[in-house]
Amino acid sequence: MDNRSSQNGWLAPASRVACSTAPGLVTIMLNGEIDLLVNEALEGALATAGDAQPADVVVDLAGVTFIGSQALSFLVRLHQLTAAESRLTTLRNVPPMVRKSIVTVGLDLLFALEEGGISGPRGTE
């Protein structure tokens, strides 16, 4: 199998980012290394969340083994999108390493930390 891409050198497995929709809910599943290689898939997930109005968004991070700046930027943009529309975004199954990254960059100021996950928005913009 050829994993090379003309855009950035490597293709990310499609299974790293998956979306599903149901009435009133968009679920985004992130798995493996969430880095620059999944940027297009993250953009697609953001578009899905934006198109599915009115719907809350759940991001399941249970399978994430690495979270890069692209993924952190995605979470900020997702928060901005949903908060502007008074929708709830919930981060679920957050591994300790991911939680540490979220706190380090200050995303804990955008999301309320909860047992078993991180939810947001917390307060108003």
This prediction has a pTM of 0.81
From CA 12, how far away is CA 46, in angstroms rounded? 17
Q: At what angle do helices 69-84 and 39-51 cross, to 10 degrees?
A: 10
Which pLDDT does position 44 carry in this prediction? 92
Check if CATH label 2.130.10.10 holds for domain 14-120.
Answer: no
Q: pLDDT tens digits for 35-85?
A: 988 999 999 999 999 998 889 999 999 899 999 999 999 999 999 999 999
Query: How is the chain split into domains, by residue range?
Result: 14-120
Strands 89-92 and 117-120: antiparallel
Backbone angles phi, psi at 81, to 5 degrees: -60, -50
Q: Give me the percent of the chain exceeding a pLDDT of 90.
A: 55
Helix or strand run (H / E) with residue 93 = none
For residues 84 and 5, which has the higher predicted lDDT (pLDDT)? Answer: 84
Dihedral sign for Cα 87, 55, 109, 78, please. negative
Q: How far is CA 120 from CA 7, 40, 78, in A?
A: 34, 24, 11
Helices first, then strands: H and E counts in the chain? 3, 6
